[in-house]
Structure 1
Amino acid sequence: MKIKVDYLVCEANAVCMGLAPDVFEVDDEDNLHVLLPEPPPEMQDRVRHAVRSCPKAALSVED
């Protein structure tokens, strides 16, 4: 699995960070950072949930 972010759409709402804080981080300047662009298998369910929960649909995953 590989995480993709459309930074032109992302508003850094931090929903993804709340659901998968080991994978996503929003800094003090409201920039999203993907800490683990290829998360290990044990995190993939949380990542998929975070991707589905993005209010702007700015995240996607590629298997």
Structure 2
Amino acid sequence: MKVILDQDKCVASGQCVMAAPEVFDQRDEDGIAVLLGDDFDESERPNVEQAASVCPALAIRIAEGE
């Protein structure tokens, strides 16, 4: 599963890290979210979908068929 994170939209709320800690982390210097890899196991999909739904900046999506 490919996850797309638009760091330019990120407002450093940390909601994604709480929802999907195996997929997201935050930079120490500014709190902007980062991905912990390039490709994730399909078992993380519910967590990533939750992270995308609670992201106040709408900066997360799952790349379908890309």
Same fold (TM over 0.5): yes
Unaligned runs of 5+ residues in structure 2 are none
Deviation of residue 26 (structure 1)?
0.7
Structure 1 runs (4+) deviating above 6 angstroms are none
Determine the structure 1 residue equivalent to 2:48.
Answer: 47
Paired residue type of 1:6: D
Residue in 2 aligned with 1:8?
A: 8
Gaps of 5+ in 1: none
Deviation at 1:31, TM superposition (A): 2.6
Q: TM-score, normalised by structure 2?
A: 0.82
SS of the residue corresponding to residue 61 of structure 1 reads strand
The CA RMSD measured in Å over matched residues stands at 1.2
Tell me how far 1:46 sits from its aligned partner: 0.9
Q: Percent same amino acid among aligned pairs? A: 29
Cα distance in 2 for partners of 1:27, 1:6 equals 14
Asked whether the 8 Å contact 2:5–2:34 carries over to 1, the reply is no
Mapped to 2, the partners of 1:9 and 1:49 lie a distance apart of 18
Asked if the contact 1:23/1:37 (under 8 Å) is kept, the reply is no
